Structure 1
Amino acid sequence: MDLDYNGGNTTTTNKRVFHRIGGGQSVNDTSNQHNHQHQQNQKVCYHWRAGKCNRFPCPFLHRELPAPPPHAYLNGGEGGAKRGFAGNDSSSFSGRRGGDGFSLLTQLEGHQKVISGIALPSGSDKLYTGSKDETVRVWDCQSGQCMHVINLGGEVGCMISEGPWIFVGLPNVVKAWNTQTNTDLSLDGPIGQVYALVVGNDLLFAGTQDGSILVWKFNAATFNFEPAVSLKDHKMAVVSLVVGANRLYSGSIDHSIKVWSLETLQCIQTLTDHTSVVMSILCWEQFLLSCSLDQTIKVWAATESGNLEVTYTHNEEHGLLTLCGMHDLDGKPVLLCSSNDNSVHLYDLPSFSEKGKMFAKQEIRAIQTGPGGLFFTGDGTGQVRVWNSVAVPTAAT
């Protein structure tokens, strides 16, 4: 999510301060931070082309140059508009007349319980979905068919992808798969369910049920992840993690957000403005966004002292579950936020004006963006929906 800041009340001073304490880097999601590192060397990885790259992170690009057209591999290229993820169902989920620029492409059926993770690894034509039904399903992006069902013997608490890697949080273990080399690793150490995973600064972080954040570092020589440290400061389970501006941010059932230095792995600030579980955290430019079961989205920015403070609070009628950011087809930043009334709100940023709303049969716990305006939602029934940005006709004047 590389969202552009288009205005708002925050001063230029705050932006400057935040970039200074964050090492001069804009705050983006972890995948874009990883891509930023890739872009320092614009060569395409030879081993990736051969499907054999085992470097983590790889200093070269894991994509062809120039990039493929939007939806190329997801829709089967030209002429693929009626198969795969480019379905015929153009149902809009706008709550407003005239449409909000998004449409439903298709629905993926098969999971029996709540979807807890969705991942689209780079360089892969497969979509991975994880569920509390103890399985991960692998979907072919061209046909939209389920290709594999992986039985894991435990509820999937979370799932992310980073480059060719997929990480799955389970009770007492993190599974790591490399989709190019078919490597399958088990990372022991967590106590209880793993609820959150994130990659940053060549480290893998896992938020666990006992309130710890376990850290592993990848060893290229052994092609394994080695335990580095366990961060213990939260009093209850860690359920959300995000990396940005050389910081790790962790949200917990204990109502707090903790800010950790990625260099020292020390907690440098604790944010206590939420009054219930901090369910999801998102980095957007110089801001940190958080949502909670206390029915608020809070926007945080750095002050002159370097500490984060709330600059805006958005109130909703229900507890909030998941944040995700993307661009619409006009390049404008959009925030998606799911609520425990089974809805997802779409907001323009930074105004927080509502673009529309969608509803599911049960609450949506997983939202994931894809290339070319695609995004995916997974709800409590186990249904995964594939959405696409579409052009909205404008009235002639």
Structure 2
Amino acid sequence: MDLLAKCMLWWLVMKCFSPGHRMAICVWKGSTETNPPFYPAATLKGHTGAVVCLNVGRNRLYSGSVDHTIKVWDLYTLQGVLTLNGHSGAVMSLLCWDQFLLSCSLDDTIKVWAATEGGGLEVTYTHNEEQGVLDLAGMTDAESKPILLSSCNDNSVRIYELPSFTERGRLFAKQEVRTVEVGPGGLFFSGDATGLLSVWKWIDPPAVKVESS
């Protein structure tokens, strides 16, 4: 995020509303001289299918697509530097955590990527799920252990302790949980296909829902 601050502000969003650009990423730059205060700065092209997810980490943008690939973009030059091939289904979510990149897919896997000596990324671990995985989020538990939240196609969110992927529990919804997001103070949020947003509070053990709307 230091790079983003130096550049005032970059907004990177999927341009999916136009059929001619749904496989591209539109880059917007903040300005105090325009209204609205953002203007198009660049368009990143390279995916052969719709872009599903974005994540920023270590001065790079990571994009996942229904073309089964992850592309890595340099935020200084806005040029593509790597294409990661490891999934056999749409890449649904990406998570930069510490020195690792985590990816999940409808191919029923979560993959952990680590940097190589040559500057690339390689899969160091593949976790197989029973269902396609829709979203990832990371947090720490009451003992500061890293915890991965993984929403799946079977209307559940799996809770894993990293790096072992030991399952700590599951949360269930009436329909599939499309998104999971982490908040401050041990809170995290889940949104499902019914339109329900649930707010959860981490205690040890387990995670307990304290509010929903």
TM-score by length of 1: 0.48
Q: Which structure is higher in RCO with an 8 Å CA cutoff and minimum separation 6?
A: 1
Q: 1:357 to 1:201 in 2, by over 3 A?
A: farther
- The aligned residue for residue 23 of structure 2 is 211
Is the counterpart of residue 364 in structure 1 residue 177 in structure 2?
Answer: yes
Could you say which structure has the higher strand fraction? 2
- The aligned residue for residue 106 of structure 2 is 293
Higher Cα Rg, which structure:
1
Please give the alpha-carbon distance, in whole angstroms, between the structure 2 residues aligned to 1:350 and 1:203: 32
Q: Quick one: which amino acid aligns to residue 174 of structure 2?
A: K
| 8 Å Cα contact 2:54/2:63 also seen in 1 | yes
Q: Quick one: which amino acid aligns to residue 207 of structure 1?
A: M
Q: Quick one: which amino acid aligns to residue 358 of structure 1?
A: L
The match for 1:316 among 121, 129, 133 is: 129
- The aligned residue for residue 140 of structure 1 is none
In the TM superposition, residue 391 of structure 1 has moved relative to its aligned partner by 4.0
- The aligned residue for residue 329 of structure 1 is 142
| 8 Å Cα contact 1:201/1:262 also seen in 2 | no
SS class of match (2:185): helix
In the TM superposition, residue 370 of structure 1 has moved relative to its aligned partner by 1.2
- The aligned residue for residue 211 of structure 2 is none
Please give the alpha-carbon distance, in whole angstroms, between the structure 1 residues aligned to 2:48 and 2:117: 29
The match for 1:228 among 9, 18, 41 is: 41
SS class of match (1:248): strand
SS class of match (1:357): strand
TM-score by length of 2: 0.89
Please give the alpha-carbon distance, in whole angstroms, between the structure 2 residues aligned to 1:392 and 1:359: 16
Please give the alpha-carbon distance, in whole angstroms, between the structure 2 residues aligned to 1:392 and 1:384: 22
Q: Quick one: which amino acid aligns to residue 229 of structure 1?
A: A
In the TM superposition, residue 392 of structure 1 has moved relative to its aligned partner by 4.1
Q: 1:391 to 1:351 in 2, by over 3 A?
A: closer
Instruction: Give unmatched runs, 5+ long, in structure 2.
Output: 17-21, 207-213
Root-mean-square deviation (Å)? 1.8
Q: Deviations over 1:292-338 (max 9, x none)?
A: 00000000011111100101000011101000001111111100000
Could you say which structure has the higher helix fraction? 1
- The aligned residue for residue 115 of structure 2 is 302
Runs (4+) of structure 1 moved beyond 3 Å? Answer: none
